[in-house]
């Protein structure tokens, strides 16, 4: 004998998304109070893969800790290593040969493309389209193979050294990078035809989770999350570092503030990264990749130093408080998706759960980077 | 220009201090860049606004305020359109003090990084929460509470964020033993 299910009109229930859920792309949990399919309230729970990088930073010497930076964000490791070496070089006063800085910029941009490609595939897969991931991984594979040849690693590169690089690039790398540029440009057109105009894709994303500039400011959002809301903020332009002032590139900005705008920003960024790589290869100076007098023991003078860089996921900041010793007195890692994810709770209120998951995908989350 | 504007706005918190003296200190600091001058400055540092050399330190304005002045200082920064970058702590165990450091930066091309710091007694570390001004301070304050045990008064939800939910230890304190 069946009893009809009775639901009170104002009844809500708690839905637990994660910590193991395919839509969260890692161990992230969101407690959602649901009214049917609508989110009434949400609380993000993070810290499932917290590794206390900042304590390790205090316990290890500078070169020992350097390896940790690649383990923060497994999709865009170069950017994080870059921030760390720039900070320590600034604090300890180490000169970097120009060739090394150019190669750093080239590899960071290659890594940014590979990160964006993976995000693109995973994001479209979140929305139900499987094949773009396969195409994206094909292109990404080219980058990973290139980087593997010179760095010896496919994800956790740790390619830079304080003062320069671990290994110089060779003709084969340059030739391979030159081959990659037209290939990627062709692929971008393909992705555009395959995905951007797709009616399901557009209906899911246009007007989805519109972020205002004020929300971005109050949460400190960066990367495509800010740039999709009309904020022209890119650390490479706003706070130039390394050799980025030498390159002619644009910062894509869209004003709509919805998930489609965030998608468009990232796809346009791939083209801009290609431009930087192209110019970097053209201008690549000769010379050494390490300074003649690279200090063996790194002891920055006592003081407080800060360095921000634009990684694939946004504004990554690193603060060093030195007491003049071999280990940092305090090392703070400010990760970009930490701030980007934080605005999820407030924004997703009143949204349908599937829209909220599309929004979450558009934030480009890498959980180990949030949890640190 | 914004650097000057921010410095003057923050300077209003210290009516008795002469901003010229602070600038003098800064100039000497950038000329010598010796280890000792920085070190000494940290130990004898009194509240006030200092303009730092961006090329050396990576930020422009460094303001140390009383915990009671914190909300006012952050309010000034907010009204000038800064975004919040991070909040963190530093354990100065020798001085028996905990420092809370707030980082702010700008979205426009008027580059200016502002650091606001406040020091509290290590035995009773309580600072007011700035979540009423910057909603994004919520996680940063929870994280700082996790790592240092600093209590943020007025925080809506001060429970462990990154550490386990039953954590009663604060790993970034210098006397923490695993």
Tens of pLDDT, residue by residue over A195-234, are 988 888 888 899 888 899 999 999 989 888 999 999 999 9
Q: Find, among B23, B115, B22, B19, the residue nearest to B64 by Cα.
A: B115
| A125-162 pLDDT, tens digit each | 888 888 899 999 999 999 999 999 898 888 888 889 88
Q: For the whole model, what pTM was predicted?
A: 0.86
| Partner-chain contact B109 A238, CB within 8 Å | yes
**Total length of chain A:** 372
CB-nearest partner of A238 from B90, B111, B161: B111
Half-sphere exposure of A173 (CA within 13 A, CB side): 19
Please report the ipTM that was assigned to this predicted complex: 0.85
In angstroms, the CA B105 to CA B113 distance is 5
User: In this structure, are residues A307 and A86 in contact, taking their beta carbons and an 8 Å threshold?
Assistant: yes
B135 → closest Cβ in A231, A308, A346: A346
How close, in Å, is residue B112 to chain A by CA atoms?
9
Closest CA to B92 of B117, B122, B52, B131: B122
> Among B105, B156, B175, which would you mutate to test the A interface (most chain A Cβ atoms within 10 Å of its Cβ)?
B105
- Please identify among residues 39-78 of chain A the ones whose CB lies closer than 8 Å to any CB of chain B: 46-47, 50, 52, 54-55, 58
Q: How far apart are CA A244 and CA A113, in angstroms?
A: 16
Q: With contact defined as beta carbons under 8 Å apart, do B73 and B80 qualify?
A: no
- Condensed to tens digits (0 to 9), the pLDDT of residues A2-15 reads 777 676 777 888 88
Q: Which residue of A has its CA nearest to B85?
A: A220
**For A344, which residue in chain B has the nearest alpha carbon?**
B136
Contacts of B134 in chain A (CB under 8 A): 218-220
Residue B153 backbone dihedrals phi, psi, to 5 degrees: -70, 125
Query: Is the CB of B58 less than 8 angstroms away from the CB of A372?
Result: no
In chain A, % helix, strand, coil (3-state, to 5) comes to 50, 15, 35
B36 beta partners: none
pLDDT of res. B44? 57
Residues of A in contact with B84 (CB under 8 A): 218-220, 339
The dihedral through the CA atoms of A168, A171, A176, A181 has a sign that is positive
Tokens of A335: 């990760």
pLDDT at residue B37, as a whole number: 43
Q: Which of B33, B42, B85 sits opposite A317 (nearest CB)?
A: B85
pLDDT band at A120 (very low <50, low <70, confident <90, very high): very high
B39 in reach of chain A (CB within 8 A): yes
- Which stretches within chain A are classed as H helix? 53-59, 62-70, 77-92, 98-126, 131-151, 171-191, 199-205, 213-219, 223-227, 235-238, 259-283, 336-342, 344-347, 353-362, 367-371
Answer yes or no: do A218 and B83 touch at CB < 8 A: yes
Average pLDDT over residues B86-112: 89
The answer to whether A304 contacts chain B (CB < 8 Å) is: yes
Is the pLDDT at A21 greater than 60, yes or no? yes
Residue A36 has pLDDT above 90, yes or no: no
What is the average per-residue pLDDT within B37-61?
Answer: 70
Residues facing A268 on adjacent strands: none
End-to-end CA distance of chain B: 48
User: Is B147 near chain A, with CB under 8 Å?
Assistant: yes
């Amino acid at each position: 004998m069946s009893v009809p299910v009775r639901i009170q009109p104002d009844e809500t229930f708690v839905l637990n998304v994660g910590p193991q859920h395919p839509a969260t792309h890692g161990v992230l949990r969101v407690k959602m109070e649901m009214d049917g399919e609508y989110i009434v309230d949400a609380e993000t729970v993070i810290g499932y893969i917290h590794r206390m990088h900042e304590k390790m930073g205090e316990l290890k010497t500078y070169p020992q800790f350097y390896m940790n930076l690649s383990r923060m964000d497994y999709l865009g490791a170069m950017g994080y290593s870059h921030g760390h070496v720039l900070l320590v070089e600034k604090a300890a006063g180490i000169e970097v040969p120009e060739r090394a800085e150019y190669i750093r910029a080239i590899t960071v941009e290659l890594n940014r493309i590979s990160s964006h490609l993976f995000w693109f595939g995973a994001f479209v897969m979140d929305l139900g389209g499987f094949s773009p991931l396969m195409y994206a991984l094909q292109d990404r594979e080219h980058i990973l193979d290139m980087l593997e040849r010179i760095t010896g690693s496919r994800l956790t590169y740790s390619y830079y050294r304080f003062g320069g690089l671990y290994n110089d690039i060779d003709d084969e790398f340059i030739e391979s990078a030159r081959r990659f540029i037209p290939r990627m440009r062709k692929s971008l057109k393909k992705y555009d035809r395959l995905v951007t105009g797709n009616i399901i894709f557009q209906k899911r994303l246009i007007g989805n989770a519109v972020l205002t500039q004020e929300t971005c400011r109050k949460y400190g959002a960066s990367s495509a999350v800010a740039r999709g809301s009309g904020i022209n903020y890119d650390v490479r332009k706003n706070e130039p570092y390394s050799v980025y002032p030498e390159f002619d590139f644009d910062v894509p900005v869209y004003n709509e503030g919805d998930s489609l705008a965030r998608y468009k920003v990232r796809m346009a960024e791939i083209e801009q990264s290609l431009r930087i790589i192209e110019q970097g290869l053209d201008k690549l100076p000769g010379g050494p990749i390490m300074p003649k007098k690279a200090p063996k023991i790194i002891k920055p003078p006592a003081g407080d130093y800060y360095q921000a860089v634009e990684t694939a996921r946004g504004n990554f900041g690193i603060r060093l408080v030195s007491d003049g010793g071999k280990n940092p007195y305090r090392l703070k890692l400010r990760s970009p998706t930490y701030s980007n994810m934080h605005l999820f709770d407030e924004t997703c209120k009143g949204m349908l759960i599937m829209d909220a998951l599309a929004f979450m995908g558009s934030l480009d989350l890498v959980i180990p980077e949030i949890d640190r | 220009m914004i650097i000057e504007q921010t410095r003057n706005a923050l300077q209003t918190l210290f009516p008795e201090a002469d901003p010229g003296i602070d600038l003098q200190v800064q100039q000497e600091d950038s000329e010598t860049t010796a280890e000792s001058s920085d070190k000494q400055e940290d130990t004898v540092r009194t509240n006030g606004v200092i303009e730092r050399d961006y090329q050396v330190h990576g930020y422009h304005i460094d303001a140390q305020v009383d915990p009671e002045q914190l909300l006012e200082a952050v309010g000034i920064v907010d009204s000038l359109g800064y975004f919040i970058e991070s909040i963190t702590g530093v354990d100065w165990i020798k001085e028996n003090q905990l420092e809370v450091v707030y980082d702010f930066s700008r979205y426009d091309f008027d580059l200016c990084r502002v650091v606001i710091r406040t020091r509290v007694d290590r035995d009773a570390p309580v600072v007011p929460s700035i979540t009423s001004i910057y909603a994004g301070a919520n996680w940063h304050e929870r994280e700082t509470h996790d790592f240092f045990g600093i209590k943020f008064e007025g925080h809506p939800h001060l429970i462990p964020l990154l550490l386990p939910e039953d954590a009663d230890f604060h790993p970034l304190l210098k006397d923490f033993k695993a």
